Chain A
Amino acid sequence: GQSLEQPSEVTAVEGAIVQINCTYQTSGFYGLSWYQQHDGGAPTFLSYNALDGLEETGRFSSFLSRSDSYGYLLLQELQMKDSASYFCAVPTGGFKTIFGAGTRLFVKA
């Protein structure tokens, strides 16, 4: 089967760095995406990794290791507004994408 696993909750303090991990098991792999969703809102795209390595976009970075079927989202200089749910996702080809169950990030003052 196809599945993605990520922690259900992570808590960190404002200004800190937090890493949200994602392991995947899919038949066919095209890349790993990350989405952010605030309570009651729509998910928004954060990043996409097709190749191994680290991609940096401002305070957020995303990493992929295809050999380990593993990736992570790194959030630096945490702000209160970063409190949200974060989903990893894998496009499976044919325009279909599978999402993980999401990691709820709580940022404390």
Chain B
Amino acid sequence: DGGITQSPKYLFRKEGQNVTLSCEQNLNHDAMYWYRQDPGQGLRLIYYSQIVNDFQKGDIAEGYSVSREKKESFPLTVTSAQKNPTAFYLCASSTRNTIYFGEGSWLTVV
């Protein structure tokens, strides 16, 4: 079945470490996104990409980085510069009017 696969589901990061969240889609969508969700809150856009080798900052890009070397893949790196990274991270892709989400990755700083 077509969909979006995120890994890992749960990740623990030590202070000062960079971690990378994987996101793969087989929906053949050009547009891909990373959102951050804090408990009881809405979704905030970190980065988005409309096409391979191109991406734009969203509303809260500081402390994060992405790459888009393949249409299917859009990994997110949470760098040590992100001071409060504990959150639920959602990868998504979209058609013109519909966004399809992965199952999410829980990142906790220990």
Q: Which residues of A contact B (CB under 8 A)?
A: 30-31, 33, 35, 40-45, 48, 50, 87, 89, 91, 94-102, 104
In the bound complex, CA of A46 to CA of B22 (Å)? 26
From known contacts A42-B90, A94-B50, infer whether A33 and B97 are also in contact, taking CB-CB under 8 Å: yes
Option from A31, A43, A48, A91 in Cβ contact (under 8 Å) with B43: A43
Return chain A residues, CB-CB under 8 Å to B99.
33, 35, 43, 45, 89, 97
In the bound complex, CA of A89 to CA of B98 (Å)? 10
Return chain A residues, CB-CB under 8 Å to B40.
104
- Listed by A's residue number, 17 A-B pairs whose Cβ atoms lie within 8 Å are A31-B97, A41-B103, A42-B102, A43-B43, A43-B101, A48-B97, A50-B97, A89-B99, A94-B50, A95-B31, A96-B48, A97-B45, A98-B45, A99-B43, A100-B42, A102-B41, A104-B40
Q: Is the CB of A91 within 8 A of B50?
A: no
Chain B min CB distance to A88 (Å): 10
Return chain B residues, CB-CB under 8 Å to A95.
30-31, 48, 50, 94
Q: Is the CB of B98 within 8 A of A45?
A: yes
- Binary per-residue interface labels of chain B (35-62) against chain A in the complex, 1 for a CB within 8 Å, 0 otherwise: 1000011110100101000000010000
In the bound complex, CA of A44 to CA of B101 (Å)? 7
Return chain A residues, CB-CB under 8 Å to B94.
95, 97
Q: Which 3 A-B pairs have the closest CB atoms?
A: A42-B101, A101-B42, A95-B31
Option from A40, A42, A48 in Cβ contact (under 8 Å) with B98: A48
Chain A min CB distance to B81 (Å): 24
Q: Is the CB of A42 within 8 A of B42?
A: no
List 4 additional contacts besides A48-B98, A50-B97, A87-B42; criterion CB under 8 Å: A33-B98, A95-B30, A95-B48, A101-B42
Return chain B residues, CB-CB under 8 Å to A87.
42-43
Return chain A residues, CB-CB under 8 Å to B48.
95-96
